[in-house]
């Protein structure tokens, strides 16, 4: 995709971090919702 490695390095981390945040948030939401149902 990106021929220049520097550009790829500068471009990728925010996107990776965003997807990581989304994944952790979604993984936290499910248990919380389940716990809320029981209480």
Are 2 and 11 in contact by the 8 Å Cβ rule? The answer is: yes
CB-count burial class (<10 Å; 0-12, 13-18, 19+) for 23: exposed
- pLDDT category at 38 given cuts 50, 70, 90 is confident
3-state SS class at 20? helix
Domain ranges, ordered by start, for the chain: 1-39
User: Is residue 6 over pLDDT 60?
Assistant: no
* Residues 8-32: tens digit of each pLDDT: 555 567 788 888 888 888 888 888 8
User: Is residue 7 over pLDDT 60?
Assistant: no
Residue 19 CA to its chain's centroid (Å)? 3
pLDDT at 30: 84
């Amino acid at each position: 995709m990106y021929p220049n490695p520097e550009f790829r390095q500068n471009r990728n981390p925010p996107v990776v971090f965003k997807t990581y945040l989304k994944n952790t948030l979604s993984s936290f939401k499910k248990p919380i919702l389940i716990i809320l149902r029981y209480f």
